Amino acid sequence: MDEASGPKEGNVVLAILVGAPGSGKSTFCEEVMRSSTRPWLRVCQDTIGNGKAGSKAQCLNSAAKALKDGKSVFIDRCNLVKEQRSEFIKLGVGPEIDVHAVVLDLPAKLCISRSVKRSGHEGNLQGGKAAAVVNRMLQNKELPKLSEGFNRITFCQSESDVKDAVKTYGTLGPLDNLPHGCFGQKNPDSKIQVGIMKFLKKTTVPVDTASREKGIGNSTSQIPGKNDSCCKDIENNSSIPNDTKLESEKVEGRAIDYAGSYANQVSLDDTLTLAFPSISTADFQFNHEKAADIIVEKVAEFSNKFENARLVLVDLTHKSKILALVKTKVAEKNIDTRKFFTHVGDITRLYSTGGLRCNVIANAANWRLKPGGGGVNAAIFNAAGPELESATKEKVKSLSPGNAVVVPLPSSSPLFTREGVTHVIHVLGPNMNPQRPNCLNNDYNKGCKILQDAYTSLFEGFVSIVRNQAEKPVENNVNLERKSLEFQDQSEGCSRNNVTNTDQKSKRDADHGSEKNKKYKGAQDGSELTFTDSRDQKVDSEHRRNDGGISKVWGSWAQALHQIAMHPEKHKDDLLEISEDVVVLNDMFPKAKKHLLVLARTRGLDCLADIQNEHLEILKKLHAVGLKWAKKFLNENASLVFRLGYHSAPSMRQLHLHVISQDFESKHLKNKKHWNSFNTAFFRDSVDVIDDISNHGKATLKDDDKLLSMELRCNKCRSAHPNIPRLKLHISNCQSPFPSYLLQNGRLVSASEDTL
């Protein structure tokens, strides 16, 4: 543990206990308070009302008062779901308070046994009724994540873990702090990567695998099954303590879907995190004091540029001089410790050994961007495997001091699969070592400027990733790692880029490190070439399209369809049809009962903006194949009506036609962008695109974000509705005919007629 990684000495601790009845929360509090030298208050809802059960509001008021008085507080409630914890976490706002979670994640049978056997419980949860309550709660627990607002999470998965946690908190003196991060987690099951490349259909993840990713090490084998004797209905919960009632009532209203897709089951920390080493202070021998000043200066400058992101300075040793210096200077600057903190550990194993998930890591590189040498550079290249060296070569051959380059990490890299790292940012700082190239001979005026530029370039690269992700309205606020694993089309709410408006593009496409981008023509898969240089940002004119627009840069996750189209033999088990010109597959996140994608296999056709006269035949081929599949489905279900079309600005690379039924009955249709991407001018009917190319040589595009934020209107009667649930309820009963424009030119396909 890194005692240097706490924000400053003597912080008050708000410790939120998380655990089912019988997990030992009250006993934990009592044992810590008995041995601790710092003042603690235990807030328990079962006794908050003068020894009797009270309300959550009373708990909040009591905790807030104690924190204000300088006391540390235990919140002794079940807190098994995020909603139960959120209001207590808000009490910890401010640098003087550390918000901890102590998770008593003990085996279900142990908790049930304790609850059933005990008597005289404060909340009267004991005997036979306790078994059913505990069982229900454990099956629906949501284990805490740092992104909820915790500084530290301690997982206790055995009684010995609990004893260690009691000792840790019991010996915490008034002037002591505990390091930040996750502690006590088991290594994630390597099998969680099964299904990453299953683009076609929903991937069924075993329950224990999903549980491990959600809870970091929990197995459903610990949870009694439906036939277990303890699984009984609660006949009378009048005597159940208030906190347990809230939890059990919430549980009863929720269904567990273990057959969903991998991406929808895995719950990941949704805070984007950059872990970086101190630049130039090791082999390049830069002065530690000056380097610490620059780190803190740049952290303060950049930490306010994004909400859902954080920076972590990492070093291998507890005795790190740079960590100690930065910690002291950060405390003086009063920087939000949720946006920036220090951590001791191997930067290539932050998640597997410390539970700290970092989507992006920085590499203190050499100017050749080659593996080898020692320190961080060698460690990262070794951990990432040959995939990182290959991906780096596709980007750039060398790097000058003060600059950084963002490299999306291929999903086959061990660093990606084991640690969840999706990007590596190579950065090169100044050199004060006469044995190394480009030595500055102790010229710290120049050296400090280069180091400032290096951190600026590094953080700008990270900011660009954060902004790029923020422009993709993703379900459940999933993080960049999950985006790299998911296959989803533009209709899933990803970012849109205006391929004809360069001003809008430069604003919206801050992708992987610079405000403007260029496409790397030499890469086999068309990956982007991006430099992050705080002093020199420009767009290569060679990468402008003939129409004057700038070619769209596709992020690594957006290449999935392209890879399928170019190499269908690798995905043949997942495809419905393969021919010389097209491939057909199910949309992984269908927005209706039937939703197919028909992909063109022609290189260079990424989207409608690339279509010209010579591509008319492939458009007709896509339409014919889509029509064939629509009719096939109509033979199976004559009540369906289909529409065939393209998104004006898709988020997935490779031209693809949507074949979608007009019922829009799907659990994946969740927000306004999902609906409007298929029911506004943003969706271009296939027949109209073919007419455009035939008559004008190019397609008319409606790439306007305003279209995607329009009010929700029924696709038949055009009535307006306030939200998706209300809209879905309406369209399931709407008997109006489709609008007249859809009834023309064969835009709709039904069983009664080939086209309506």
Active-site amino acid positions? 656
Measure CA of the first residue to CA of the last residue in the chain; give whole Å: 68
Cα dihedral 339, 182, 222, 130 sign: negative
- Structure-token pair, residue 223: 């949870």
Give CA angle at 81 (77, 85), nearest 5°: 55
- In angstroms, what CA-CA distances link 625 with 137, 290, 644? 49, 65, 10
Sorted by sequence, the CB contacts under 8 Å of residue 570 that are 6+ apart come out as: 563
- Closest to 553 measured CA to CA, from 504, 512, 612: 512
Gap between the Cα atoms of 689 and 695, Å rounded:
10
Q: How many CB atoms lie within 10 A of CB 706?
A: 10
Gap between the Cα atoms of 662 and 664, Å rounded:
5
- Closest to 595 measured CA to CA, from 656, 681, 654, 648: 656
154 contacts 216 by C-beta, under 8 angstroms: no
Gap between the Cα atoms of 123 and 105, Å rounded:
20
- Closest to 489 measured CA to CA, from 656, 267, 681, 633: 656
Q: How many CB atoms lie within 10 A of CB 323?
A: 23
- Structure-token pair, residue 582: 């097209």
* Side-chain-side CA neighbours of residue 400 (13 Å): 8
Gap between the Cα atoms of 204 and 525, Å rounded:
29
DSSP track, 451-520: HHHHHHHHHHHHHHHHHHHHTS--GGG--HHHHHH----GGGT-----SS-HHHHHHH---SSSSS-EE-
Helix (H) or strand (E) holding 541: none
